[in-house]
Structure 1
């Protein structure tokens, strides 16, 4: 077994143990001893990666924000066209990380802040490209639109991931495209 595989296996064990413990304990009640025991590692191995549980949580939140930033709104490509692949990538990420999202979803304001700071320019350019808004107006309303879109998308993703339903990726992609179009254009 190569070193990289062992590191990956240990990191995965820490993440899995954290998720298991977070299901039954408040985050501030998870101890390094309990996490190390659940992960099947020593406390020293944990400390080789993190200085505390808070640092682990911070790292996980940072990871989630980065992933959301990579795959989040707007679902428009560099030409300002709607792109279903962006949405499918986001849905795959959400499904693959639904347990971690469930644990960290109280951080939605942090995700929203990142979405606004990282995507305001994209939204502004998209609004201008519709021909309905001048630059100053588009710059003013882009954060508002991102907030509305984000909150609606957050609600839909929570319903899709955390309730009993049989919606396919295609159904969700179509719904998100509809949501985005209805937020931008009066058809």
Structure 2
């Protein structure tokens, strides 16, 4: 096994151990010893990569948020130009991402163990939404763009939260279909076109 793969495997084990332990106790109560024992690694391996458990957590969060951004952008990369009517459940990858990182999202949403992360997720979604909200269409309405972006980010995060809290009772493809149906609904108060 190459050195890079060994490093990646060790870091993944430490990330997983931190999340597993965080299900039962706050980060400030966890010790590096508990983390390395759960990961079945030694303290030397931990300190080769991290100065503290907080640095481990920061790396984990940053890694998940980068993957969240990639999953969010996925439909827009495949559709040029982007049109909601062309969007299919197969284009939407955000729910696959959330399911792949189920332990992370469960730890973040089901407890106060990892403070501040929900806000970082919403801020990431707001930043990403700026690239996809049709500004030309907004200019034709009285909707303030940053308010719509905030609404969009919170609504998407709310959908993710509900799914995680339901213990992923629906498949990610079902959630993608639901999101498309929600996005295609007429805005409140707008009459359907004949």
Q: Same fold judged by TM-score > 0.5?
A: yes
User: TM-score, normalized by length of structure 1?
Assistant: 0.80
For the residue of structure 1 that corresponds to 2:41, the secondary structure is coil
Residue 80 (1) aligns with residue 82 (2): yes
CA displacement at 1:183 relative to structure 2: 7.4
CA contact (8 A) 1:145 1:183 kept: no
Q: Which residue is equivalent to 2:179?
A: 176
Question: What is the alpha-carbon distance in structure 1 between the residues aligned to residue 166 and residue 9 of structure 2?
Answer: 31
**Where do 1:137-156 residues align within 5 Å?**
140-141=144-145, 143-156=146-159
Q: CA RMSD in A?
A: 2.8
Q: Which residue is equivalent to 2:95?
A: 91
Q: Which runs of 5+ in 2 are unaligned?
A: 110-115
Report which stretch shifted further, 61-70 or 93-102.
61-70
CA contact (8 A) 2:15 2:56 kept: no
Report which stretch shifted further, 89-98 or 158-167.
158-167
Richer in helix (by share): 1
Report which stretch shifted further, 7-16 or 91-100.
7-16
For the residue of structure 1 that corresponds to 2:185, the secondary structure is helix
CA contact (8 A) 1:16 1:39 kept: yes
For the residue of structure 1 that corresponds to 2:35, the secondary structure is helix
| Greater relative contact order (CA < 8 Å, ≥ 6 in sequence) | 2
Question: What is the alpha-carbon distance in structure 1 between the residues aligned to residue 172 and residue 67 of structure 2?
Answer: 19
Equivalenced residues, count: 179
CA displacement at 1:178 relative to structure 2: 2.2
Q: Which residue is equivalent to 2:120?
A: 110
For the residue of structure 2 that corresponds to 1:25, the secondary structure is coil
**Where do 1:34-73 residues align within 5 Å?**
34-72=34-72
